Amino acid sequence: MSDYRDLLIDIEDYIINNPRMPLATIAEVFNVHPDFVLGIYNEMDPVSLQDALDAEDRYDDSMDGDEASALASVGWGTDEDYGYSGDED
């Protein structure tokens, strides 16, 4: 019974983490019948599904991990932010 419950949880998590992926594709990933995934989807909380879609739409990648983003995140900014471009003597 635990394996079945784990499968349900895994599929539910996969749906939430990939909200725009077709359910048939998710069924292929887990090697189950598409109707099985559809049943899980229909039993899921609609608010959590909408939250997953909203979070995906709101994702902001302006802090992408480059050096300028790191400096900006600690409040230091870059030379360009302060008007210095390197051409001034």
Domain that holds residue 47: 2-75
| Phi, psi torsion values for 63, nearest 5 degrees | -100, 75
The total number of structural domains in the chain stands at: 1
Decide if 13 is inside a domain.
yes
The pair of three-digit structure tokens given for residue 26, joined into one six-digit string? 């998710």
* pLDDT tens-digit map of 21-70: 899 999 999 999 999 999 998 888 777 777 766 665 555 556 566 666 66
Decide if 25 is inside a domain.
yes
Is it the case that residue 76 has pLDDT exceeding 80?
no
pTM given for the model:
0.56
Count of CB atoms situated within 10 Å of the CB of 72: 15
| pLDDT top residue among 18 and 48 | 18
The pair of three-digit structure tokens given for residue 46, joined into one six-digit string? 């609609």
The pair of three-digit structure tokens given for residue 54, joined into one six-digit string? 């909203």
